[in-house]
Amino acid sequence: MDSPVRYARSGDVSIAYRIFGQGPRDIVLIPGTLSHVELLWEVPSHEHLLKRLTAFARVIVFDKRGQGLSDRVAEQTIEERIGDVRAVMDAAGSDRAAIYGWSEGGPMCLMFAATYPARTSALILFGTFASIKDEPWAVTPEAYAETLRRLDAHWGEGVLIRVNAPSRRNDAAFLEWFARIERAAASPGSIRDLMKANYQIDVRHLLATIQAPTLILHRAGDNLVPVRAGRYLAEHIPAAKYVEIPGTDHMVLDQETQDIIADEIEEFITGSRRHLEPVRVLATIMFTDIVSSTQRVAEVGDARWRELLGNFYALLRKELTAFRGHEVRTAGDGLLATFDGPARAIRCARSMREKIRPLGLQVRTGLHTGECELIDDDIGGIAVHIAARVAALAESDEVLVSSTVRDLVAGSGLEFVDRGAHNLKGVPGDWRLFVVQ
């Protein structure tokens, strides 16, 4: 998924963009509130969507003006912003493309499709709206002002996850990682200006003029943009296809939903969808991350922290090699790895904990054994979610395991302390967890 960052000129503004894949057709992605052409596409679910789309298309992503690696300018009119889309397409050599936008990017898509029908081969919208202040969403000025106050007060703390993906609001490691993306992508003032402008946008009068084939996707229980906003679009755009998807989070952070979205897009654009049976294996999954990393960054400074983090990962990778573990990915200051044996995974986790002590760092680690899907260089499935939830409950310097892991290492000489039954968010039933002695 490596792709260089390039720049398109839109008037006097430089717009950062990247191109993924070499498919026979083009898709331009117009993001929601936040954009960063490097960091945002490292989010596992976003990267997974890119991999799915590049199987049948060339995918163009860009940073909106004022955000990410594009010029930090104050202008946020929708006319200028759709001009940026055209400039990126010109620079990328794309005469015609399917335009896919979600959330805040939806009105941009609608205006682009209405303004440049010859350059829009298809229009795809997810979780978006034609108007915020009027029907069918009709957010009151007071409620919107409160949203702006919350964003302004907590920008750079992972506030978009708390607002847009409540199912992940208790995932401390992910919140911390996404907080860095927020800080890198935009300032509180630029987000405030963007959101103020969005409240005034009303593109309902454009809907009847849309000529491109249109696919509208919306989560049935979307907790931010109500499903009636998606249904309204489908009712007023000529011959639009409408699909409701299960779920309540507005932001899509799970690969299962991204697969549903990718399947619908592929069938809509190509006329068919590939049914690929995932490769499934039994593995012991380990999540480990640094405790109080934000505090340590403040204590030692950015330069020293980068050095510490490099040494941290070097030590972890050395231990993975020694215990036959496989690194899947890193995220922020954490690591996801798999093992073909639970006892080795536990011993590796304990060894990692001891080896990093000289660095002055502490980690929390969670382990679970279960069947997972191999997805290119990544893994997915409920077992991965369980391991992540177990890790989130571990305390400093603890190796916390599920009862499945404890049962599988019976007779190994490893000892455990019962931590009791826990409800793992998003996972059915109670799970008994154990701390490795």
Strands 97-102 and 26-30: parallel
**Lowest-confidence region among 205-219, 333-347, 415-429:** 415-429
3-state SS class at 157: coil
User: In the predicted model, is pLDDT for residue 276 greater than 60?
Assistant: no
**Of 217, 245, 270, which residue is a domain's last?**
270
Supply the CATH number for residue 347's domain: 3.30.70.1230
Whether residue 360 contacts residue 383, with contact meaning beta carbons closer than 8 Å, is answered with: no
**Average pLDDT over the chain, rounded to an integer:** 91
Note the pLDDT tens digit of each residue in 145-203.
Answer: 999 999 999 999 999 998 899 888 888 878 888 999 999 999 998 898 889 888 999 99
Q: Which of 215, 246, 270 is the last residue of a domain?
A: 270
| Residue 115, domain member (yes or no) | yes
Strands across the sheet with 241-245, in order? 6-10, 13-20, 58-62, 26-30, 97-102, 120-126, 214-219, 241-245
- Name, in order, each residue with C-beta under 8 angstroms of 298's C-beta and a sequence gap of 6 or more: none
Residue 238 lies in a domain: yes
Q: Let me know if residue 35 belongs to a domain.
A: yes
Q: How confident is residue 1, by pLDDT bands cut at 50, 70 and 90?
A: low
Task: Give the C-alpha separation, 142 to 295, whole Å.
Answer: 35
Q: Is the same domain home to 310 and 348?
A: yes
- pLDDT tens digits for range 74-119: 767 889 999 999 999 999 999 999 999 999 999 999 999 999 999 9
Give the CA distances from residue 108 to residues 105, 123, 206, 408, in Å, rounded to whole numbers and listed in that order. Answer: 5, 11, 11, 53
404-437: pLDDT as tens digits: 999 999 888 899 999 999 888 767 778 999 999 8
- Pair 43, 116 in one domain: yes
Percent of the chain with pLDDT over 90: 68
Of 270, 291, 321, the residue at which a domain comes to its end is 270
Q: Is 120 exposed, middle or buried (0-12, 13-18, 19+ CB in 10 A)?
A: buried
Q: Are residues 264 and 283 in the same domain?
A: no
Same domain, 294 and 193: no
Please report whether residue 81 resides in a domain. Answer: yes
Q: Assess if residue 136 is contained within a domain.
A: yes
| Confidence check: pLDDT of 273 > 80 | no
Q: 185 and 147 in one domain?
A: yes
Distance CA 99, CA 27 (A): 6
| Residue 1 lies inside a defined structural domain of this protein | no
Residue 316's domain comprises 279-436
User: For the chain, how many structural domains are there in total?
Assistant: 2
Q: Which of 146, 160, 144, 132 is nearest to 229 (CA)?
A: 132
pLDDT tens digits, 29-42? 999 999 999 999 98
The pLDDT assigned to 391 comes to 92
Q: Which pLDDT band, with edges at 50, 70 and 90, does 352 fall under? A: very high
pLDDT of residue 275: 59
Do residues 96 and 135 both lie within one domain?
Answer: yes
Sign for the CA dihedral angle at 423, 424, 427, 432 comes to negative
Threshold 0.85, pTM exceeds: no
CATH of residue 29: 3.40.50.1820
Tell me, yes or no, whether 335 lies in a domain.
yes
